[in-house]
């Protein structure tokens, strides 16, 4: 195991209270802003879990831990990822910030002893998402974008909030579409983000077509009822 991970283990005091344990570790490393963001994402994850009928506790844990690798400086992430035998894509070497999702997954498992594969997977793709995401993948991804860690209002927030009124997939799609529409402004365009975009575009199209078909059928049925009523007169 990487020596840096071993040092993190020494600094982590595990009480069984995930909120307290995560915040304590982040504060030890001077990452109070990440601690605040993680609290917000955990709360937003619970809200989405309730809305979309998912396990609130699992969503909360994923929210608290998703950015735990923020304690590792950006300049060291490639080196740490290499020593952890994490696959590093070309885009991640060019823009190491993206590696934090994968490293957070490892820290969650090795330091915080999270053995739920669904939680680890969601943490490990919360920045880029991926094709065929699980419900928790989508919950954490969308929660992270709603409870963003910058000043002011997220420029994409209206589209995402309108999207989740329909589905998690629609909300996630709206955020990624916002990025793709402005890809020239991005440091890199991650291939897994593109995979997620293409997958969600298809899924959202199918869902919307089903909704249109359903509404059309209701209108058609009502029209038949009205005609039958008129004919009976």
Alpha helices for the chain (secondary structure H): 3-11, 18-28, 32-51, 56-65, 77-83, 90-94, 100-110, 117-124, 135-146, 157-166, 168-180, 191-232
pLDDT score of 15:
96
Q: What is the pLDDT of residues 162-196, one digit of tens each?
A: 999 999 999 999 999 999 999 999 999 999 999 99
CA 183 centroid distance within chain: 19
> How many other C-beta atoms lie within 10 A of the C-beta of residue 64?
25
Q: What's the burial of 43, exposed, middle or buried (CB within 10 Å: 0-12/13-18/19+)?
A: middle
Q: What is the pLDDT of residues 61-104, one digit of tens each?
A: 999 999 999 999 999 999 999 999 999 999 999 999 999 999 99
Query: Residues 6 or more apart from 33 whose CB is under 8 A from it?
Result: 149
pLDDT score of 212:
44
Instruction: Tell whether domain 3-232 is in CATH 3.30.470.20.
Output: no
Residue found under tokens 């919360």: 126
Integer Cα distance of 35 and 26 in angstroms: 6
Per-residue pLDDT, averaged over 150-173, amounts to: 96
Calculate the average pLDDT of the chain. Answer: 92
pLDDT score of 189:
97
Closest CA to 54 of 143, 136, 164: 136
pTM, two decimals, is: 0.88
Per-residue pLDDT, averaged over 141-161, amounts to: 95
Q: Fill in the DSSP letter of residue 66.
A: T
pLDDT score of 207:
80
Integer Cα distance of 139 and 136 in angstroms: 5
CA dihedral sign, ordered 57, 199, 68, 44: negative
Q: What is the pLDDT of residues 96-141, one digit of tens each?
A: 999 999 999 999 999 999 999 999 999 999 999 999 999 999 999 9
Closest CA to 12 of 123, 120, 111, 113: 111
Integer Cα distance of 61 and 158 in angstroms: 26
């Amino acid at each position: 195991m990487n020596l840096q991970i071993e040092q993190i283990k020494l600094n982590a005091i595990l009480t069984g209270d995930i909120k307290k344990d995560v915040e304590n570790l982040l504060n030890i490393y001077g990452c109070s802003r990440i601690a605040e963001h993680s609290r917000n994402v955990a709360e937003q994850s619970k809200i989405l879990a309730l809305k979309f009928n998912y396990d609130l506790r699992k969503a909360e844990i994923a929210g608290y831990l998703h950015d735990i690798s923020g304690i590792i400086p950006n300049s060291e992430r490639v080196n740490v990822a290499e020593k952890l035998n994490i696959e590093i894509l070309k885009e991640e070497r060019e823009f190491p910030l993206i590696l934090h999702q994968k490293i957070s997954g490892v820290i969650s498992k090795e330091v915080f002893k999270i053995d739920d594969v669904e939680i680890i997977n969601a943490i490990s793709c919360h920045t880029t998402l991926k094709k065929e995401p699980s419900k928790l993948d989508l919950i954490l991804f969308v929660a992270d974008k709603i409870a963003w860690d910058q000043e002011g209002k997220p420029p994409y927030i209206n589209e995402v909030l309108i999207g989740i009124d329909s589905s998690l997939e629609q909300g996630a799609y709206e955020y990624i579409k916002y990025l793709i529409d402005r890809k020239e402004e991005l440091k890199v365009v991650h291939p897994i983000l593109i995979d997620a975009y293409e997958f969600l575009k298809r899924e959202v199209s199918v869902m919307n077509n089903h909704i249109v078909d359903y509404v059309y059928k209701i209108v058609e049925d009502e029209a038949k009822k009205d005609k039958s009523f008129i004919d009976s007169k």
